[in-house]
């Protein structure tokens, strides 16, 4: 049963990567930047997975600002609000919302592709997180979520950009493979 579920996840990742590559001229390419939306610790886990384990060589800045995106072609937004993380970053939720809106505006204006990721399960969900999720998913070019964080299918409902599918994976490692597949589909 485990191998059937794994095979289904790999097939879903491949299909979504192909669809995303076909829908978006230029696809997902480097240079890319990983940032936290909501100042959650999951962004650091995604960074280790994508850069250390998968050798993707993406930039990482938890509080990246629009002016710092430079020649970025793909912005990976790891979603999930953390009061502790916001406090450690010296910002509040309203400032994080403003930063997120500014990043999305810059991405739109500069043709930067946005990948939304949620790997934190239900623990990273709630009113604050859902507000950030809604904001990002309205404009994301790809959405990747670990199934434990999408038991209510919230991500399926919130992803509103035409042609964007929600990739649901069973593990964070599979979510990383989905990101890698998106980049490979553009080559």
| Of 48-52, 91-95, 142-146, 160-164, the least confident | 160-164
pLDDT band at 187 (very low <50, low <70, confident <90, very high): low
Integer Cα distance of 75 and 119 in angstroms: 16
Share of the chain above pLDDT 90, in %: 72
pLDDT tens across 12-28, in order?
555 454 444 434 444 89
Sheet with 59-60, side-by-side order of all strands: 59-60, 32-37, 74-79, 113-118, 142-146, 166-169
Radius of gyration for the alpha carbons in the chain, expressed in angstroms and rounded: 15
Residue 9: alpha-carbon gap to chain centroid: 17
Phi and psi at residue 30, in whole multiples of 5°? Answer: -90, 155
Predicted local confidence at residue 160, as pLDDT = 79
What's the CA angle centered on 142, arms 42 and 130, to 5 degrees?
A: 55
Average pLDDT of the chain is 86
Q: Which domains can be identified in the chain, with CATH numbers?
A: 2-185 (3.40.50)
Partners of 124 in the β-ladder: none
As a whole number, mean pLDDT of residues 125-134 equals 90
Report yes or no on whether pTM surpasses 0.85: yes
Predicted local confidence at residue 185, as pLDDT = 67
Residue whose tokens read 């953390």: 82
Predicted local confidence at residue 80, as pLDDT = 93
Contacts of 64 (CB under 8 A, 6+ apart): 33, 35, 103
Predicted local confidence at residue 50, as pLDDT = 96
pLDDT at 9 over 70: no
pLDDT at 88 over 50: yes
- Using a 10 angstrom Cβ sphere, with 0-12 exposed, 13-18 middle and 19 or more buried, the burial of residue 146 is buried
30: nearest Cα among 66, 48, 55, 4: 55
Phi and psi at residue 118, in whole multiples of 5°? Answer: -135, 115
pLDDT at 138 over 60: yes
Residue whose tokens read 């964080």: 149
Residue whose tokens read 């035409």: 162
Predicted local confidence at residue 100, as pLDDT = 98
Predicted local confidence at residue 4, as pLDDT = 44
């Amino acid at each position: 049963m485990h191998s059937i579920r794994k095979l289904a996840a790999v097939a879903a990742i491949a299909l979504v990567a192909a669809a995303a590559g076909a829908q978006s001229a230029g696809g997902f390419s480097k240079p890319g930047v990983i940032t936290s939306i909501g100042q959650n610790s999951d962004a650091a886990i995604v960074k280790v997975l994508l850069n250390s384990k998968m050798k993707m060589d993406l930039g990482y800045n938890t509080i990246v600002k629009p002016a710092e995106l430079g020649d970025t072609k793909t912005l990976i937004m790891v979603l999930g609000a953390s009061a502790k993380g916001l406090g450690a970053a010296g910002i509040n939720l309203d400032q994080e919302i403003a930063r997120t809106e500014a990043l999305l505006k810059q991405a739109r204006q500069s043709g930067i592709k946005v990948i939304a990721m949620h790997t934190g399960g239900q623990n990273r969900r709630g009113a604050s997180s859902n507000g950030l999720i809604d904001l990002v998913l309205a404009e994301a070019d790809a959405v990747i979520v670990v199934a434990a964080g999408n038991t209510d299918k919230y991500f399926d409902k919130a992803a509103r950009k035409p042609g964007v599918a929600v990739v649901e994976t069973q593990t964070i490692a599979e979510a990383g493979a989905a990101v890698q597949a998106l980049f490979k589909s553009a080559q």
